[in-house]
Amino acid sequence: MGTVANNPLVSIITPIYNGEQFVNSCIQSVLDQTHRGPLELCIFNDGSTDSSMEKVNSFSKKLKSRNISLSISSLFNTPKGCGFAKNRCVEQSKGEYLCFLDIDDVMHPDRIKDQLTAALSLPPLTLIGCQVIREPEDATVRYTRWINTISSSQLYTQIYTSHGPTVVMPTWFCHKSVFNLVGGFSEEGKGVPEDYIFFLRFLELKGKLHRVDRPLLTYRHHSGATTFSISETTLWDLRIKELQKNVLCKWPQFTIWNAGKQGRRFYRDLSRENKEKVHCFCDVDT
């Protein structure tokens, strides 16, 4: 349902599950974009039981007046999870480019303009992010600094750290061919890091990364965020599996630089073949 604009170049991908307190600021940030070409806002309602969709529909006229089409769909009353909802959003989209926007975040006015400009100058199979402003400001200070300041080379070399994707999901902007290359997000549901799985698979398929070095998104931190449903153990197991598959399998031997608890855990979770490659344990006594 909803209005449909002619040939939108960019589709904004926004799944919603009970986000009523964020709808107004999120969609207002879509209206405030300085990019003036036709846009499409794709909403998938993942079983919301609050007033989220009533609030979304209240923006129909304003969006239409700004040449922003509104495409809304839903399939079930029971939530199917972030991966399922994102896939449905992308499937209903008509744009050549995808701009991912979580309902609890806010785009800055130049986000689409700046990321689209970058996309048009880069190979199509590039996943583009941006710097962020964290809200509240004192939340996850070290993580926010890492998001904003790691170098272009570190976007690739730090992909197996505990922080997850080096280009963080709420900032993703890409050509639709990126989504098609990976084949979409995991639909296993709650507790599965669908963004990290997608990210690692994209890099395994030789995709490229880029970050626009300007804050273009306010990235909210709150107790209801999906991130909190993913356990540290799940992320750890995924990192170890992918590190062994993509990196350690190519090394004849290596040293573990952490002789403490984490280093022992890392060694314990390696395959027998990779345990035999460990040359020694090292640590720095500070």
Q: Which domain holds residue 263?
A: 235-282
| Whether pTM exceeds 0.85 | yes
Name the residue among 6, 4, 23 with its Cα closest to residue 14. 23
**Token pair for residue 159?**
């992909």
φ, ψ dihedrals at 130, nearest 5°:
-160, 170
pLDDT-based confidence at 3, cuts 50/70/90?
Answer: very low
Q: Are residues 249 and 120 in the same domain?
A: no
Measured at the CA of 226, the angle between CA 73 and CA 60, to 5 degrees, comes to 30
Tokens 């710097």 sit on residue: 131
Gap between the Cα atoms of 28 and 12, Å rounded = 13
Name the residue among 241, 242, 221, 226 with its Cα closest to residue 191. 226
Q: Are residues 15 and 100 in the same domain?
A: yes
Full DSSP string of 52-106: HHHHHHTTHHHHHHTTEEEEEE---SS---HHHHHHHHHHH---SEEEE--TT-E
> How much is the mean pLDDT over the chain?
92
69-108, pLDDT tens digit by residue? 999 999 888 899 999 999 999 999 999 999 999 999 999 9
Q: Are residues 112 and 180 in the same domain?
A: yes
Calculate mean pLDDT across residues 172-184.
Answer: 97
Q: Are residues 212 and 255 in the same domain?
A: no
Q: Count how many Cα atoms sit within 13 Å of the Cα of residue 269 in the half-sphere of its side chain.
A: 18
Q: Are residues 142 and 269 in the same domain?
A: no
Report the residue count for the chain.
286
Q: Are residues 148 and 29 in the same domain?
A: yes
Number of domains in the chain: 2
Q: Are residues 146 and 267 in the same domain?
A: no
Q: Are residues 150 and 45 in the same domain?
A: yes
Measured at the CA of 103, the angle between CA 100 and CA 105, to 5 degrees, comes to 80
**Token pair for residue 157?**
């070399």
Gap between the Cα atoms of 126 and 181, Å rounded = 11
Gap between the Cα atoms of 68 and 164, Å rounded = 33
235-270, pLDDT tens digit by residue? 888 889 999 998 999 999 999 887 788 888 899 999
Q: Are residues 206 and 75 in the same domain?
A: yes
119-170, pLDDT tens digit by residue? 999 999 999 999 999 998 888 899 999 999 999 999 999 999 888 899 999 9
155-169, pLDDT tens digit by residue? 999 999 888 899 999
Of 210, 230, 250, which marks where a domain is finished? 230
Q: How far is CA 61 from CA 3, 17, 64, 67, 94, in A?
A: 9, 23, 5, 10, 20
